[in-house]
Amino acid sequence: MTKHVFEAALLGLSCAMFAAGQVPTSKISRTPGGTPDLSGIWQALNTANWDLQAHGAEPGPDSHVGAIGAVAPGPGVVEGGEIPYLPAAAAQRKQNHKDRWSADPEIKCYMPGVPRATYMPYPFQIVQGLETIMISYEFADAVRLVPMKNPGPAPADSWMGWSIGHWDGDTLVIDVTSQNDQTWFDRAGDFHSDALHVVERYTPVDANILMYEATIEDSKVFSRPWKISMPLYRHIEKNAQLMEFKCIPFSEDVLYGNAGQREGSK
């Protein structure tokens, strides 16, 4: 009899707490060793890839497809609002913006670099192993292998950079150097040099939400470091999977000079 009363009281207390918003949401996945396990399929839900800074809706590059190709608006993901370009770099950004429908490396299906790969409008998958974390991106089948032990210096620059990971409490911190200067941060022309240094922080706030922050430093382009942040959401649908988006064929007309000449050309 006492047992039932006790259980009823516990239930009553839980309900009260739930009503007050104090019952914790689903627990963070952890490895047997206790660190968070970030394995799974994640995706950003914002328009950072169009433009990191706040922007309204705009026409897209091809009026024939009307609203389909148009630029979706967004309140921006840059902490403080503005990207702090040095004066000469600001002029380059302006030129990039003007040329964006031909100069954006995304058009050519080039690997997007870090942090852009995180907020492309395609999912990515984290596979957390014991000594290495793999981040596999659907866009262009880009991939990063993040060792949790320092592998030494990069032998040369690369598109997805040289990553080294470590844990800071429950946050996965990835230090990224040696990216080449060929990628952009978004479709609006935001860019960097080969001096780019990115520090990413992935913090689980819930079983299905990561808080993502990236600090960007590039003394050739920006007057000070700056930061972006956004939630990343887990794909929880049954049988979620990345599919093949090897976009090379979609870029070949543009790259090899046959653009607009497919029908009736020799």
Partner 1 sequence: MIEMKRTVFAIACLGLLWSAAPGWAHHSFAAEFDENKPVKLHGVVTKMEWINPHSWIHMDVKGDDGKVVNWSIECGSPNTLFRRGLNKDSLPVGTEINVDGYLAKDGENKANGRDVTLGDGRKLFLGANPDADK
Partner 2 sequence: MMVRFLGIVLLGLLPAFGQNWTAPRTSDGHPSFEGIWTNKTITPMERPKDLGDKAFFTPEEAKAYTQAARERNNKDQRGGGVRDVLYAYNDFWWDSGTKLLSNMRTSIIVDPPDGRIPPLTAHRLAQLQEQAEAIKIRCKQPGCAIANSGQLSPSDKPEELDLMTRCISFGTVVPMMPSAYNNDYQIVQGPGMVAIDTEMVHDVRRIPTDGSPHLPPSVREWIGDPRGHWEGETLVVDSTNFKGETRVRGGDENLHLIERFTRTGPDTLLYQFTVDDPTAFTKPWSGEIPMTKTEGPVYEYACHEGNIGMKDIIAAAKADEKKAAEQAAGKK
The residues that touch partner 1, with contacts defined as CB under 8 A, are 153, 155-157
Of residues 87 and 257, the one with the C-beta less far from partner 2: 257
Closest CA to 76 of 106, 119, 36, 47: 47
| Distance in angstroms (rounded) separating the CA atoms of residues 106 and 51 | 13
- Would you count residue 102 as binding partner 2 (CB under 8 A)? no
Task: Verify binding: residue 258, partner 2, rule CB under 8 A.
Answer: yes
Q: Does 149 bind partner 2 (CB under 8 A)?
A: no
CA distance 217 to 226: 7
Which residues between 206 and 245 bind partner 2 (CB under 8 A)?
238-239, 241-244
If binding is defined by CB under 8 A, does position 39 make contact with partner 2? yes
Cβ closest to partner 2, residue 92 vs residue 182: 182
Stretch that binds partner 2, among 24-32, 61-69, 70-78, 166-174 (CB under 8 A): 24-32
Binders of partner 2: how many residues, by CB under 8 A?
A: 49
Pull the structure tokens for residue 1: 């009899």
CB of 109 to partner 1, least distance (A): 15
Rg (CA), the chain: 22
Q: Which is nearer to partner 1, 155 or 260 (CB)?
A: 155
CB of 26 to partner 2, least distance (A): 16
Binding site for partner 2 (CB under 8 A): 29, 31-33, 37, 39, 109-111, 125-134, 136, 140-143, 145, 147, 151, 155, 158-160, 182, 238-239, 241-244, 246, 248-249, 251-253, 255-258, 266
